[in-house]
Structure 1
Amino acid sequence: MAGRHRAHRQNVRKFAKKATAFSAATATATALIGAAPAPEANAASVRAADAHLVAAVNQWPSPGQLPDVTAGLGTFGSGLTQTVLDAIARAVAENLSLAALARAAGMDPESLLERLVGDPNFLVDSVLGGLLGEVPIDLSPVLEALVGEIVTDLLLIPVLQALGITDAEGVTDLLSLLNLVGLDLSDPLNVGNLDIPGLNVLTASPIFTLLKLLGTDLGWAPSLPNSVAGEINGSEYLEVGAVGLLTTVLDRLTETLPGNPLIPQLGLLIEALLGDVLPDVTHLRVPVSVGIGMGAFAIATGYDQVLADLVNQPGGVNAGAGPLLGSITVLPMLLMLNPARPNGGALARFYPLFDLLGIDTVNPQTQVSSSGGLMQLPFGLSLGGANIIPVLIDVGVAYHPASDLAAWPNPFSLANNLMALVLPTYMLRGLTLDTVPEQLGGQIGDALEKLIDGKLALNLYVTLPSNTQPLLEPLYLISDVISIASLGLLAVNPVGALANALAPAVEALNNLGYTDVVRNPDGTYTRTLTEAGVPTPFMSFPSGINPVQVPFDIVNLLIRGFTKEFFSGNPTPATPNAILNRSRPSRF
Structure 2
Amino acid sequence: MAHLSYSAAPSLGRQSTRSSTRRTRRNLKQFAFAGEFAMFPGNVLKTAGRMGAMSLNNVAHGLKSGRRSAAKIAVVGAAVATAATVAVGAAPTASALDVNQQVYTAGPLLNLLPLLGIDTIPISLGNLPVVGETTLILDFAPIGYDSQNIYNTINALPFAKRGAFSSIYDRVIGAPADPPTQFPAVLGSGIGTRNLVESYRTQISSVNGNTPPGYTPFQPVPGANPTQTNQALLYLRNPLRPNGGIDARFAPILNLFGVDTTLPAAGVNTGTGLKLNTATLDVTWAYDLFSDFPVTLNPFSLVNSLLTFLPVNLAGGVSLKGLDATAAGVNVASVLGIINRLSGGIAGVDDGQAFYGTLLPNDLPILEPLRLPSRLINAVFGTDLGTPFADALQPAFTILVNTGYSDVVTPDDIAADPALADTYQPYDRTFLTSATPEPFLSVNPLTPAEWLQVPGDVVRALFTGFGDVFFPSAP
The superposition leaves residues 224-262 of structure 1 with CA deviations (integer Å, 9 ceiling, x where unpaired) of: 33332232223222244627x7xxxxxxxxxxxxxxxxx
Q: Distance in 1 between matches of 2:382 and 2:218?
A: 70
> Retained in 2: the 8 A contact 1:233–1:309?
no
How far 1:438 sits from its partner (Å)?
A: 8.9
Q: Distance in 1 between matches of 2:252 and 2:155?
A: 29
Equivalence for 1:400: 288
* 1:547 aligned counterpart, secondary structure: helix
Structure 1 unaligned regions, length at least 5: 1-106, 135-175, 184-190, 192-200, 246-279, 373-384, 445-454, 572-588
How far 1:418 sits from its partner (Å)?
A: 1.6
> Retained in 2: the 8 A contact 1:232–1:306?
no
Equivalence for 1:514: 405
Equivalence for 1:224: 146
> Retained in 1: the 8 A contact 2:321–2:358?
no
Q: Structure 1 residue 568 and structure 2 residue 468: aligned?
A: no
> Retained in 2: the 8 A contact 1:311–1:319?
no
Equivalence for 1:300: 197
Q: Structure 1 residue 538 and structure 2 residue 440: aligned?
A: yes
Paired residue type of 1:561: G
Equivalence for 1:431: 318
Distance 1:557 1:111, change over 3 A: same
Matches within 5 A, 1:379-458: 385-422=273-310, 424-433=311-320, 436-437=323-324, 456-458=351-353
Match of 1:551 among 455, 464, 468: 455
Q: Distance in 1 between matches of 2:74 and 2:409?
A: 33
Q: Structure 1 residue 354 and structure 2 residue 254: aligned?
A: yes
Higher relative contact order (CA 8 A, sep 6+): 1
The superposition leaves residues 173-205 of structure 1 with CA deviations (integer Å, 9 ceiling, x where unpaired) of: xxx9x976x51xxxxxxx4xxxxxxxxx42101
Distance 1:474 1:544, change over 3 A: closer
Q: Distance in 1 between matches of 2:192 and 2:362?
A: 27
The number of equivalent residue pairs is 338
Equivalence for 2:233: 333
Instruction: Compare the two structures and name the one with the higher helix fraction.
Output: 1
Equivalence for 2:222: 322
The superposition leaves residues 355-405 of structure 1 with CA deviations (integer Å, 9 ceiling, x where unpaired) of: 222222332122212112xxxxxxxxxxxx211111000011011112111
The superposition leaves residues 276-320 of structure 1 with CA deviations (integer Å, 9 ceiling, x where unpaired) of: xxxx6534432211111221221123211011112569xxx9957
> Retained in 1: the 8 A contact 2:64–2:116?
no
Q: Distance in 2 between matches of 1:555 and 1:514?
A: 20
Q: Distance in 1 between matches of 2:141 and 2:461?
A: 49
> Retained in 2: the 8 A contact 1:203–1:221?
yes
Equivalence for 1:480: 375
Q: Is 202-211 or 108-117 further displaced after alignment?
A: 108-117
Match of 2:391 among 500, 503, 522: 500
Q: Distance in 1 between matches of 2:144 and 2:221?
A: 33
> Retained in 2: the 8 A contact 1:301–1:340?
no
Matches within 5 A, 1:96-135: 111=61, 114=64, 120-121=70-71, 125-126=74-75, 130-132=78-80
* 2:241 aligned counterpart, secondary structure: coil
Q: Structure 1 residue 465 and structure 2 residue 360: aligned?
A: yes
Distance 1:396 1:116, change over 3 A: farther
* 2:428 aligned counterpart, secondary structure: strand
Distance 1:507 1:371, change over 3 A: same
Larger-Rg structure: 1
Matches within 5 A, 1:250-289: 281-285=168-172, 286-289=183-186
Distance 1:311 1:537, change over 3 A: closer
Equivalence for 1:236: 158
Structure 1-normalised TM-score? Answer: 0.50
Equivalence for 2:54: none
> Retained in 1: the 8 A contact 2:63–2:117?
no
> Retained in 1: the 8 A contact 2:169–2:221?
no
The superposition leaves residues 135-190 of structure 1 with CA deviations (integer Å, 9 ceiling, x where unpaired) of: xxxxxxxxxxxxxxxxxxxxxxxxxxxxxxxxxxxxxxxxx9x976x51xxxxxxx
Distance 1:108 1:539, change over 3 A: closer
Q: Distance in 1 between matches of 2:361 and 2:145?
A: 27
> Retained in 1: the 8 A contact 2:296–2:444?
no
* 1:507 aligned counterpart, secondary structure: helix
Distance 1:204 1:559, change over 3 A: same
Distance 1:539 1:524, change over 3 A: same
Q: Distance in 2 between matches of 1:324 and 1:234?
A: 17
> Retained in 2: the 8 A contact 1:240–1:284?
no
* 1:227 aligned counterpart, secondary structure: helix
Distance 1:215 1:541, change over 3 A: same
Distance 1:281 1:364, change over 3 A: closer
Q: Distance in 2 between matches of 1:429 and 1:216?
A: 23
* 1:517 aligned counterpart, secondary structure: coil
Paired residue type of 1:227: N
Q: Distance in 1 between matches of 2:59 and 2:377?
A: 34
Q: Distance in 1 between matches of 2:233 and 2:220?
A: 28
- Identity, % of aligned positions: 31
Equivalence for 2:188: 291
Q: Distance in 1 between matches of 2:444 and 2:68?
A: 39
Computed over aligned residues only, the root mean square deviation of the Cα atoms, in angstroms, reads: 4.0
Q: Distance in 2 between matches of 1:368 and 1:409?
A: 38
Q: Distance in 1 between matches of 2:81 and 2:66?
A: 26
Match of 1:527 among 418, 429, 433: 429
Q: Structure 1 residue 206 and structure 2 residue 114: aligned?
A: no
Q: Distance in 1 between matches of 2:67 and 2:295?
A: 33
Structure 2 unaligned regions, length at least 5: 1-56, 83-94, 120-139, 173-182, 211-216, 332-349, 415-420
Equivalence for 2:136: none
Q: Distance in 2 between matches of 1:570 and 1:114?
A: 49
* 2:188 aligned counterpart, secondary structure: strand
The superposition leaves residues 488-516 of structure 1 with CA deviations (integer Å, 9 ceiling, x where unpaired) of: 587xx4xx111111000111111111111
Q: Distance in 2 between matches of 1:434 and 1:570?
A: 33
Distance 1:540 1:434, change over 3 A: closer
> Retained in 2: the 8 A contact 1:504–1:524?
no
